[in-house]
Amino acid sequence: TNEAAQTLDGWYSLHDFRTVDWSAWRTLSSDERQAAVHEFLGLLEKWGIAEQEDRGSQALYSIVGQKADFMLMILRPTMEELNEIEMEFNKSLLAEYTIPSGSYVSVVELSNYMGGDGDPYENPHVRSRLYPKLPESKHVCFYPMDKRRQGNDNWYMLPMEERRSLMRSHGMIGRQYAGKVKQIITGSVGFDDYEWGVTLFADDVLQFKKLVYEMRFDEVSARYGEFGSFFVGNLLSRDRIHSFLYI
């Protein structure tokens, strides 16, 4: 049998997508809406403590287009904590006025195609990637993907050496976007419908298109990439939450 890539696994990840039920939200009095907003801000503050203590991270973005209105991305050391946070939100007043519109469960993953020396879990650079503080970039892009297993194009039948060399070329393209796009690859085999989640952060939204397009011409993506739905969004900072929910 073929050699599986070894993975380094970091924090567990939940991407939670919600659509606001604006017509129901509108029926509340402005005091009730204020209370719901404050409760939500309180939850964000509470979740933020874990981030300050290096026990996780989270990001909130409004989503452009009809697939959802906002996305909360949460990273935590355990699957239980993801579940707790999701439930805390579900029990909040605001949640009563949102409709779940998708979620993605995965774990931050690095593969050993590029491998370095020593115990990677002790390497500060590796640690900062496995346990990342999510950036407050202006934009986010998320999509799930698979590596193809079809006829002659079966990623999982390729020898390790060939996959390694293909991944090297993939990494070289990615590196040209250093400083412009931050990517977090999360593995979801056994957890969700696709094999990976790709989450990209950038201040210039156009860099998502440029990066993803350029990668389409690279063999790993051209021959082996299969993609789910794409989501793109704008940072929902604390002060923008008020205007976002104002009606």
Q: Which of 107, 110, 184, 202 binds ligand 76R (CB under 6 A)?
A: 110
d(CA 157, CA 2): 7
Is 143 among the annotated ligand-binding positions?
yes
- Considering only the C-alpha atoms of the chain, give the largest distance between any 2 of them, rounded to a whole number of Å: 63
Is 183 among the annotated ligand-binding positions?
yes
Q: Residue 143 catalytic? A: yes
Q: Where are the beta strands (DSSP E) in the chain?
A: 7-20, 57-63, 70-76, 98-111, 139-147, 149-150, 153-154, 182-187, 196-202, 225-227, 231-235
**Binding of residue 212 to ligand 76R (CB under 6 A):** yes
- Distance of alpha carbon 182 from the chain centroid: 11
Is 147 among the annotated ligand-binding positions?
yes
CB closer to ligand 76R out of 92 and 111: 111
**Binding of residue 5 to ligand 76R (CB under 6 A):** yes
Is 87 among the annotated ligand-binding positions?
no
Total chain residues near ligand 76R (CB under 6 A): 25
Q: How far is the CB of 196 from ligand 76R (least distance, A)?
A: 4
The residue range among 55-63, 82-90, 130-138, 207-215 that interacts with ligand 76R, by the rule CB under 6 A, is: 207-215
Nearest partner of 98 among 71, 73, 123, 121, judged by Cα: 71
**Backbone region of residue 86 per phi and psi (left: phi > 0; alpha: psi in -120 to 50; beta: other values):** alpha
Residue of this chain nearest to ligand 76R (CB atom)? 174
**Under the rule (CB under 6 A), what is the footprint of ligand 76R?**
5, 110-111, 113-114, 145, 147, 167, 170-171, 174-175, 177-178, 181, 183, 185, 196, 198, 211-212, 215-216, 221, 225
